[in-house]
Structures are given as structure tokens and as C-alpha cells.
Amino acid sequence: MIDTAAARYRALLHGGDPLATAAQFLALQAEQGLTYRGQPVCATIQPRFLPAADHAAFLAAGRIGAGLIGRADAHFRASQPLRDRLFGDHPQRHLLDAHDRFLPDPCGRFDALVDRGGRPWFIEYNAGLCGGLYFAEALAAAFDTLAPMQALRAELPLRFQPTSAPYVDALQTAYSRDFGGIILRALFLAPDGAAGDLYASHAEIHMMAAEMARRGIEARILRASDVRHDGARVAQGDWVADIVIVLDWLALIAQPAAAPLFVPRTTGGSWIVNSLGAAIYRGGKHLFALMSDPAIDLAETDDERRWIADHVPWTRILAPGPTIGLSGEPTDLLAHLRAERERLVLKPCFAMGGRGVMLGWKVDATTWDRAIEQALGEPTIAQARIDMASETYACPQGATVTDRALESDLCCYIWHQSEAHGLHCRASDTGMMNLAGGGASVVPVFVAG
């Protein structure tokens, strides 16, 4: 996915006053609250540009993948042996098993890494709560005020696909379909304690709430201890939420105040948009193992099998036993993981924000072996490393602006589990593509042509 728009943008940037442009862009982020833990969410002063043909091909791949995610999810929920293999004796097994029914996602995000040959490899699907929807749109508007971007727009047709308004539209459509009404009250539910402090001050959550207010929806950001819930309705005093967007299920599971949220339901009362079931089952990274593992039959079409071969990296549920290795050879999984450390990643299935992810090529063999043993007690996948392409971004560094080679992902938003539109990108020099993991920037994507 190589483009000439980026090179032209940098030429326009460096041909002007790059330091003044950097100062303007950083000031805009500070004024608009485009920050995370006190830092600008975009540390580059260059957006990403994607040729129109690559954009169309990427969204087409995302649509095929969305259908396969749904099929893999249904297959997993129907297979007790697979559930036993992943969940094992997990201390929250009763919750995992109880929440295997839930409503379709109004919005999800398919995350991909692009290799040196320009091929996207889909590695994660985020169900329900999709970061970047609002940051990217606000950053795109900020970039449009910069002189090099305005000059480039005069030379090339560029477009950015909005995602904030479609998100509220998708929520309203799903609520009308499943609950027979319109959303008037929305609750963003944060855990108590330090995790809740982070979410309560998270700029993107406030941006989402503000967009809902503009659309006539009263939105509140509250902690678990601020609300009461009877297994159906979630309320603060007499104020009852029509929808609830949970900000961190993993933290809530450990908090007694949130216990009634774990009563399974699909209709009636407050709709939990990103339910625990959706987060566990449809948002779990294990679904990529189901697509990748030749021992699991999802009844794919020939086109779907080609899509899996072309776009899903080798992925396995972490459990003792035989498997097919990275090069197609029969092997023992755990022995294979130890032997191929530098080609592999370990990922907790249900964690967010890069938590618990271990890159095999970044650690020594002893650390890797210990991580494998520890991960056997939690739902975890092993996934092949993608030899990612790097792209050049203009970045402020002290009193200069330099061009740096950064790795970046490319993500598309999936609406109602069938349609793909809207892009998200993060650039990093650490190999981790998460704001929470540190070192990554949200970068808006403009389509050229």
C-alpha cells in the first residue's frame, strides 16, 4: 500500500515552516482535548494516505472477514470441546459460560497489520466499543487546517470518511430493531478505582458523550458504585439508562458493585451495547485461531478459504497438544512455541489496550518460556509475527522536524456485522499499536484518488 501523496505532503511541509506547523498542530490537540494521559494522541505531523484502489480492496477484505468472524463465533459457542480447551478451569468460568447469548454488534473494528508486500493481515476484532472513532475524525479536521494539507488538497483529490455520526446512527438503528424505541439516555459505565479515574477523564469518551448530546441523547459517565442495577435496568436515582456502554469489563468483573451486570440478558431493561458475552466471544482473539487452524472446519467457501490463507496469520489457542506448525509441519504446540519464539506473539484473548501482549523477538528465551507457562492458566493465543512494512512520517523532535520510519496498522470499522466503512490507523516505533501500551499515535487516514 505505497502512495505518493505522503511524499508530496512531506515536501510541502519541509518547504514551508515545519516547526510552526508542528507547534500549530500540537496546540490544536491541546485545545480540543485530543490527549491521552496528558500526551497528544498524534505525535506525527503527517496523516496517512491510502490510494483509492487499496482502500476499496481493504474494505472488501473487511466485509468478508466480518462474515467469517460471525461464523467462527457461532461455531465456538456451539462447541463444548473448544470452550473447554480455551476456558479450562478459569476462575470466572461460570460467567464465561453464562454469557454465550447476546445481540449483534452495531459497530466493531477489524485490526490489520500490513506486511512489506502490502498485504493486510487481520489480527484482532474489537466488538462493541471501538476506540478511535472520534479521535481520528477530530485529528482529520485539525490536519485540514495546516498549510501543507491545504496545499496538497489543491493538488490531489483527498477524502476522509466520518465515523462519529455513523456510530450514533448504528446505535439508534440497533436499538429500534431490538427494543422498539429510540435512545434518549446513554450511560458510559467505568469501574471504580484507578481504572475508573482514567476512563472518567478519557477525552474520546467525552467526545462521544458530546456527540450524543448534539443528537438529543442525554449521556452520563458514571462509576459502578454510582448506579444501581437489578439485572435488567441500570440507573442513577430515577434516571434509567436506555443503553449502557461498558468501558472496562476486566476491571468490573473484580468489583462487587458491578455484579448485577453479569446477569445474562439479551432484551428488556437497559441494553448493554458491548455486553460481556460480545466482549468474550465475538471480541475474543481466539476466533482467529478457529479460522487459522486446519483442524477446525467452519464450512468455508473456496473464496473464504483463500481469504483466510491471504489475510489471517497462523494463530493457535494456547493449550498442550499436537498442531500444524508455522511451516505446515505436524508438531507439538508448546515445543513449537519455544522453538519459534522470534516468530511469535502471545496475546491474552480478552484483554484490551495491549495488556499482557508479549512479543517473542523482544524477550529472551527464559522470559518467553515463563510467559508460556503463566499463559496456560488464562485464555491465550499464540500468533505469527507479521513482518510489518514501515512508512515514513514527519515527526517533531525537539527543535527540529525529522522524517522517521514507523510501523503502522490499518483498521476498518464494521457496521451491523456486515458493512465496512471508515478507517483507523496507529503508528508506532515500539511494535505495540495501542495508546495504552505507550509509543503509539492515532493517525487519521485520507483516501487519495
Would you write out the chain's pLDDT as a tens digit for each of its 449 residues? 446 899 999 999 999 999 999 999 999 999 998 988 888 999 999 999 999 999 999 999 999 998 899 889 889 988 999 988 888 887 777 777 777 677 778 899 999 999 998 899 999 998 867 788 899 999 999 999 999 999 999 999 999 988 888 899 999 999 999 888 999 999 999 998 877 787 777 888 999 999 999 999 999 999 988 998 877 889 999 999 999 998 888 788 778 777 777 665 555 688 888 888 888 888 889 999 999 999 898 988 898 999 999 999 999 999 999 999 999 999 999 999 999 999 999 999 887 767 789 999 999 999 999 999 999 988 999 999 999 989 999 999 888 999 999 999 999 999 988 889 999 899 988 777 777 666 788 999 999 98
Q: Tell me what pLDDT residue 437 has.
A: 60
Nearest in space to 76 (alpha carbons), one of 274, 349, 376: 349
DSSP 359-426: EGGGS-HHHHHHHHHHHTTS-EEEEEPP-BPEEEEEEEETTEEEEEEEEEEEEEEEETTTEEEEEE-E
C-alpha 322, offset from chain centre: 31
Contact 336, 326 (CB under 8 A): yes
Q: Tell me what pLDDT residue 264 has.
A: 54
DSSP 56-100: HHHHHHHHHHHHHHHHHHHHHHH-HHHHHHHHTT-TTHHHHHHT-
The residue length of the chain stands at 449
Distance in angstroms (rounded) separating the CA atoms of residues 34 and 134 = 10
Q: Tell me what pLDDT residue 143 has.
A: 97
What percentage of the chain's residues is helix, strand, coil (to nearest 5)? 40, 25, 35
Q: Tell me what pLDDT residue 278 has.
A: 81
Contact 298, 78 (CB under 8 A): no
Q: Tell me what pLDDT residue 266 has.
A: 53
Q: Tell me what pLDDT residue 105 has.
A: 81
Single-letter residue type at 119: R
Scanning the structure block, which residue is given the C-alpha cell 490536519? 143
Query: What cell was used for 442?
Result: 492515532
Q: Does domain 163-273 have CATH number 1.10.10?
A: no
What are the structural domain ranges in the chain?
163-273, 314-384
CATH of domain 314-384: 3.30.1490
